[in-house]
Structure 1
Amino acid sequence: MRAPVGGLFRHVHDLALGQAELGAEVGIVCDSTTGGPEIDVALSRLQDNCSLGVTRIPMSRTPDLNDWRVYRRIAKLARKMDVDVLHGHGAKGGAYARLAGKGLRKKKNTKVVYTPHGGVIHYSPSSFSGKLYFALERRLMRLTDGFVFESMFSGNRYAELVGRPECPARVIYNGLQRHEFYESLLADDAVDFVFVGELRKLKGVDVFLEALAKQQTIFPGRAIIVGSGPDEKSFKRLARRLGLGGQVTFSAAAARTAFVRARCVVIPSRAESLPYIVLEAAAAQMPIIATNVGGIPEIIGDIPIPLVPPGDVDALAGQLRAFLSDPRPFLRRAAELQKHVGDVFSVDMMVREVVDFYITDLGAGLHKLPENET
């Protein structure tokens, strides 16, 4: 993978630890220029549990002349460690894994797996960037032995934009640990709504702010925006322009800490794959207001939670009003959703399905993995 941040890193972190617990020898390769103190701690934990270690290499977010050196270094590392599976996560990680695995597939029959994690599928097919990345994905597809998608939405969208994989493919949902299921206790100064995530337009923070301002004269509501990102300054300016200076606070905190500080989680995204924040909010039995994008409907299942069209300020404002006027239906649905997510979205299930995909669908050797643990 490239950047050890966000939901992609959470997925890789949990998958690597779970595979190591099953007896596999696991290693991580990621960017050395992103992250922070919390990421350093998480990578240190991975270093302690992954016998093939954690290797950090400078990796650019966009295509770069240095990419050639990076994938060659990954190929050399994989040959030295005699790996059975190279699993690339995210568009950049997937490109590195597939290019690095080209020679290994022929010499050692190493299996190369790719999980897009949204990324490339969020581009418009009419944009220059979209056309470029979809063309690159098509060229790399023939170097891919298997695809793992974290939602039906991602798999279908990838097939629509890039092409239907001709190799084995499986949908395997992200999962949570058992200890993540609890009932959140509210702080005495809890506000009404919280957004947790990267501060960029794709996440719809601007839509949330406009919806909150739109219904202030009916049911005044307060919110906290938790996170950081490239559009943070723009969102702060928008909040001031909308007259929300006293109603909206910007902060940085972990999701669990953020849940204590508000009565309802808002996910106003314009696009998603299978967002961890929805899973985490559900596990904490938090009422949610979310948009109808990506794999969110797959998380909700049959629970009658109304999902808002992305970018629709009026519809989102209506749901904010509904919660402020009577939160009881939201609380009932939150309890139902917590049980549903606990039954379907498990880290143990995720790890075992991925390993089963390696062995059953791809015929990966994994000769170091004890047979009774597969």
Structure 2
Amino acid sequence: MKILHLNAGNETGGGMSHILSLLNMLDHDEVILGVLEDGEMFRRARQLSIDTVNFNQSFPYDLSVLLHIKRYIEEENIDIVHTHGPRANVLMNMLKPSLSIPWVLTLHSNPDDDFMGNGTKGKLFARLHKGAIRKADRCLAISDSFKHLLLNIGVHHGKISTIYNGVDFNVLPDQNSYREEFGFEENDFLIGMVARLEPVKQHELAIQSFAELNRKNSNTHLVLIGNGSREQELKQMCTTCKLDGHVHFLGHREDVSSLLPLMDVTLLTSKSESFPLVLLESARARVPVITTNVGGVPQLVPSNKYGWVTECNNITATLHSAYEKDAEERKLMGDRFYNFARSRYSSNHLAQQVTKIYDLMYKSPLEVESHV
């Protein structure tokens, strides 16, 4: 059985980590990653010895790539196509009538938020994407909330499988990273936020809430890991709030697993999420979290034993609560979080569930509904 995973290739956040983690756990002789443009995902897949093909789409609306993808599927005897992301989903929907193989789709984000801030054009693309989603033979939702989202889009319940995200808990952080290397003092309170600098992540809430905490506690620091279109806007906001020297923009990093253990807590202020991989990474680092109540967060952080699930208007108060908690209590929360997540959300478990879907789809797409 050969499965082609198709993605735009411009992912750098949780979506990329999910895809690469899954492919790395699957049989490398059976999976191929197809990307539409050269980028970090293509390079990192190669480093993991994952077979990878770049279809070289000239620009996001270049439909000539359809012919190249179709030819590749036929020449390589691909048995299943598994798409990730709006561009790949829409292209596969166009190809589907000319192919006779099953199409599996993973929904990584809310289609209404994918084109946030793009006005009428964004609404049109979101509608086009939703139409494509409805045509897939199987939709994988990586949280219960996304299962309901798929149902609301109009996907038949028999075509949906809920398969939670996962990370490799056997990955150990690099012990050579210390606070001093970044200029932090031993008693500094570090808040880490790993998120693309895009509107859906709502960094303004993080910065505004942190400003309130920092006014009363000068040993606090907000560490932002990720890049994106809002970088200059957010840096200006920090200057306006007089937070220079206390908010640190580290940009995109490939050593997130080594940076997170340096933090006292991690923060996520997203408007929308599926099953936030960064929270699993925080659990692996044994660091408690502060997060908005979005997507699969209730499954990841089911009680305050592991962290704080809060509303947008209560982030400031929650930051104060985390700061005031004894360091040993925070450590205990982090250990609980690690043990809870490790037993439920490993990348190995994710791969086993996805493989089951492939096996059933390969035998007969009609059998999936009665087995999953």
Q: Distance in 1 between matches of 2:289 and 2:142?
A: 21
Distance 1:362 1:298, change over 3 A: farther
Mapped pair 1:5 → 2:12: yes
SS of aligned partner of 1:178: coil
Mapped pair 1:291 → 2:287: no
**Structure 2 matches for 1:179-328, cutoff 5 A?**
179-180=170-171, 187-188=179-180, 189=184, 191=188, 192-220=190-218, 221-252=220-251, 253=253, 254-302=255-303, 304=305, 305-310=307-312, 312=313, 315-328=314-327
1:132-184 deviation line (CA, Å, top 9, x unaligned): 24532454356421111111111212322x21336522011111113236798
Identity of aligned pairs, percent? 18
2:84 aligns with 89
Q: Distance in 2 between matches of 1:294 and 1:154?
A: 7
**Which of 132, 135, 148 is the aligned partner of 2:140?**
148
1:316-350 deviation line (CA, Å, top 9, x unaligned): 11111112222444332221111111011111111
Q: Which amino acid aligns with 2:71?
A: K
1:337 aligns with 337
Q: Distance in 2 between matches of 1:31 and 1:240?
A: 38
Asked whether the equivalents of residues 180 and 280 of structure 1 are also in contact (C-alpha less than 8 Å), the reply is: no
Q: Which amino acid aligns with 2:311?
A: P
Q: Which amino acid aligns with 2:31?
A: V
Distance 1:176 1:142, change over 3 A: closer
Asked whether the equivalents of residues 88 and 94 of structure 1 are also in contact (C-alpha less than 8 Å), the reply is: yes
Q: Measure how far apart 1:359 and its partner are.
A: 1.9
Asked whether the equivalents of residues 88 and 96 of structure 1 are also in contact (C-alpha less than 8 Å), the reply is: no
**Structure 2 matches for 1:45-124, cutoff 5 A?**
45-46=47-48, 48-50=49-51, 53-58=52-57, 60-61=59-60, 64=61, 66=62, 68-105=63-100, 110-122=101-113
1:211-260 deviation line (CA, Å, top 9, x unaligned): 11123333332222222110000010000000101222211333123224
> Which deviates the most, 240-249 or 8-17?
8-17
**Structure 2 matches for 1:36-51, cutoff 5 A?**
39=41, 41-46=43-48, 48-50=49-51
Q: Distance in 1 between matches of 2:76 and 2:160?
A: 26
Q: Distance in 1 between matches of 2:279 and 2:113?
A: 18
Distance 1:179 1:44, change over 3 A: same
Q: Which amino acid aligns with 2:290?
A: I
Q: Distance in 2 between matches of 1:183 and 1:257?
A: 5
SS of aligned partner of 1:307: strand
Asked whether the equivalents of residues 288 and 330 of structure 1 are also in contact (C-alpha less than 8 Å), the reply is: no
SS of aligned partner of 2:299: helix
SS of aligned partner of 1:266: strand
SS of aligned partner of 2:149: helix
Q: Distance in 1 between matches of 2:174 and 2:296?
A: 24
Residue ranges of structure 1 left out of the alignment (5+ in a row): 366-374
Q: Distance in 2 between matches of 1:142 and 1:282?
A: 34
Q: Distance in 2 between matches of 1:75 and 1:334?
A: 47
For these two proteins, the number of residue pairs brought into alignment is 344
Residue ranges of structure 2 left out of the alignment (5+ in a row): 1-6, 366-372
Q: Distance in 2 between matches of 1:215 and 1:100?
A: 52
Distance 1:223 1:81, change over 3 A: same
Q: Distance in 2 between matches of 1:261 and 1:280?
A: 13
Distance 1:182 1:261, change over 3 A: closer
1:171 aligns with 162
Asked whether the equivalents of residues 259 and 281 of structure 1 are also in contact (C-alpha less than 8 Å), the reply is: yes
> Which deviates the most, 339-348 or 218-227?
218-227
SS of aligned partner of 1:351: helix
Q: Distance in 2 between matches of 1:288 and 1:208?
A: 13
2:363 aligns with 363
What is the TM-score with the length of structure 2 in the denominator? 0.83
What is the TM-score with the length of structure 1 in the denominator? 0.83
Asked whether the equivalents of residues 121 and 154 of structure 1 are also in contact (C-alpha less than 8 Å), the reply is: no
Q: Distance in 2 between matches of 1:176 and 1:255?
A: 13
SS of aligned partner of 2:350: helix
